[in-house]
């Protein structure tokens, strides 16, 4: 059996394979209320039917001003949680597990009606507004909001909660010398993130792991690199982060050109140094490359983004290409010879 289609178990999280749908903003909440709608049903359920083992729902704001735009998902009230619960139940019908990425956009809030905030009043770029520098009391309110969102996510039945600590959003902003010039205790790069981790972990039962997406390097000479980040990653682990979803960049206009597997060495080094499960991400759409990442033990899980946007059935296509078994509901069995089918799905 290809490694990509071996089961994965961590605590109470049991996945049928190692294919993860990377969280990707859809900007499709037209009512501006943070409640998921029919678009999200089609988007996520089609990937569950397509064989993905773990679907991580897109960046979801823990407070209204914590969204990138007014068209993003939110998780701060019962209406949002009830809609999430209905989607989670349906995804589970097809053998996939569900994570949700909770976050605060910080200074990268874009909609004019939303207020940008940050550790320090430093805009992301000339295109962005100067953010409000958070007071200690306001920081405490945001930490509490993360805890509330985690509680609502658990009530909705999710199998994993992921914090967005990458790509230049608020948790990442506290890590970075590009955005954190504070002169109080929150100048320490991991203080805010550790408080968020502990607040969220208190709301999670043992069966629900806590993951964190991180940018292992900023690609900017004035920012941090992997060597600087590793001790911070250990602090996050010690605070209660259990899985690391390893990306890069996003807190500076400086960009690099993605190449296949370009972020995998960061995931491999964090896995080796911290001895925690890691998710590799970044231009891993090639089936042989995704399989090789796992066979080299560079990561425990592989997150696919654009590949799953292009093909909701990426996981089943990979299974066929690599000699595995497809995992489809019985309505689709007629499309495959019996020898290609995995154990029957609902």
pLDDT, the chain, mean:
96
Q: What is the pLDDT of residues 79-89, one digit of tens each?
A: 999 999 999 99
- Which residue from 39, 13, 40, 100 is spatially nearest to 300, judged by alpha carbons? 13
Average confidence (pLDDT) over 215-239: 98
Q: What is the pLDDT of residues 134-189, one digit of tens each?
A: 999 999 999 999 999 999 999 999 999 999 999 999 999 999 999 999 999 999 99
**Percentage of the chain with pLDDT > 90?**
92
Of 330 and 176, more confident: 176
11, 93, 172, 232 from 303: Cα distances, Å? 20, 21, 20, 23
DSSP 240-292: T--EEEEE---SSS------TTTTHHHHHHHHHHH---EEEESS--SHHHHHH
Find, among 84, 30, 33, the residue nearest to 58 by Cα. Answer: 84
Please say whether the beta carbons of 290 and 17 come within 8 A.
Answer: no
52-71 pLDDT per residue, tens: 999 999 999 999 999 999 99
CB 12 within 8 A of CB 209: yes
Tell me what pLDDT residue 341 has. 83
What's residue 343's pLDDT?
61
Here the tokens at position 252 are 């500076």
CB-count exposure of residue 25 (10 Å: 0-12, 13-18, 19+): middle
CA-based nearest residue to 335, from 47, 312, 327? 327
Residue 53, pLDDT score:
97
With a cut of 80, say whether residue 325 has pLDDT above it.
yes
Q: Which residue has the tokens 């891993």?
A: 284
- How far is it, in rounded angstroms, from Cα 217 to Cα 284? 18
Residue 332 confidence (pLDDT): 87
pLDDT tens digits for range 180-202: 999 999 999 999 999 999 999 99
Q: Do residues 126 and 54 lie in contact, with contact meaning Cβ atoms separated by under 8 Å?
A: no
pLDDT top residue among 342 and 114: 114
Per-residue pLDDT, 330: 85
Ordered structural domains, the chain, with CATH: 3-340 (3.20.20.70)
pTM for this prediction: 0.96
Q: What's the CA gap between 135 and 147, in Å, rounded?
A: 19
Residue carrying structure tokens 């900017």: 220
Q: What is the pLDDT of residue 345?
A: 46
Distance CA 304, CA 116 (A): 30
Answer whether residue 346 shows pLDDT above 60.
no
Closest residue by Cα to residue 45 from 91, 84, 81:
91
Banded pLDDT at 338 (limits 50, 70, 90): confident
């Amino acid at each position: 059996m290809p490694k990509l289609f071996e089961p994965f178990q961590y605590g109470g999280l049991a996945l049928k394979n190692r294919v993860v749908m990377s969280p990707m903003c859809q900007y499709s909440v037209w009512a501006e209320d943070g409640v998921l709608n029919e678009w999200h049903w089609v988007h996520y359920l089609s990937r569950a039917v397509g064989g993905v083992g773990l679907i991580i729902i897109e960046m979801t704001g823990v407070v209204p001003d914590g969204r990138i735009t007014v068209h993003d998902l939110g998780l701060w009230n019962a209406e949002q949680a009830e809609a999430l619960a209905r989607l989670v139940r349906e995804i589970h019908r097809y053998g996939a597990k569900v994570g949700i990425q909770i976050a605060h956009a910080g200074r990268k809030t874009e909609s004019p009606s939303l207020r940008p905030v940050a550790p320090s009043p430093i805009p992301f770029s000339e295109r962005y507004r100067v953010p409000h520098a958070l007071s200690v009391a306001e920081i405490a309110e945001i930490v509490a909001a993360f805890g509330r969102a985690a509680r609502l996510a658990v009530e909705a039945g999710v199998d994993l909660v992921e914090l967005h600590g990458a790509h230049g959003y608020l948790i990442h902003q506290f890590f970075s010398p590009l955005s954190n010039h504070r002169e109080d205790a929150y100048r320490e790069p991991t203080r805010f993130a550790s408080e968020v981790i502990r607040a969220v972990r208190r709301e999670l039962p043992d069966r629900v792991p806590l993951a964190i997406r991180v940018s292992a390097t900023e690609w900017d000479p004035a920012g941090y690199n992997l060597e600087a980040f590793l001790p911070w990653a250990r602090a996050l682990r010690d605070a209660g982060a259990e899985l690391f979803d390893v990306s890069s960049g996003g807190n500076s206009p400086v960009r690099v050109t993605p190449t296949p597997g370009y972020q995998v060495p960061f995931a491999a080094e964090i896995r080796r140094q911290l001895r925690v499960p890691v998710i590799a991400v970044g231009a891993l759409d090639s089936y042989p490359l995704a399989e090789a990442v796992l066979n080299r033990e560079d990561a425990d899980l592989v997150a696919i983004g654009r590949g799953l946007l292009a093909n909701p059935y990426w996981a089943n296509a990979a299974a066929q290409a690599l000699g595995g078994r497809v995992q489809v509901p019985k309505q689709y069995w007629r499309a495959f010879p019996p020898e290609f089918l995995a154990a029957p799905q609902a």
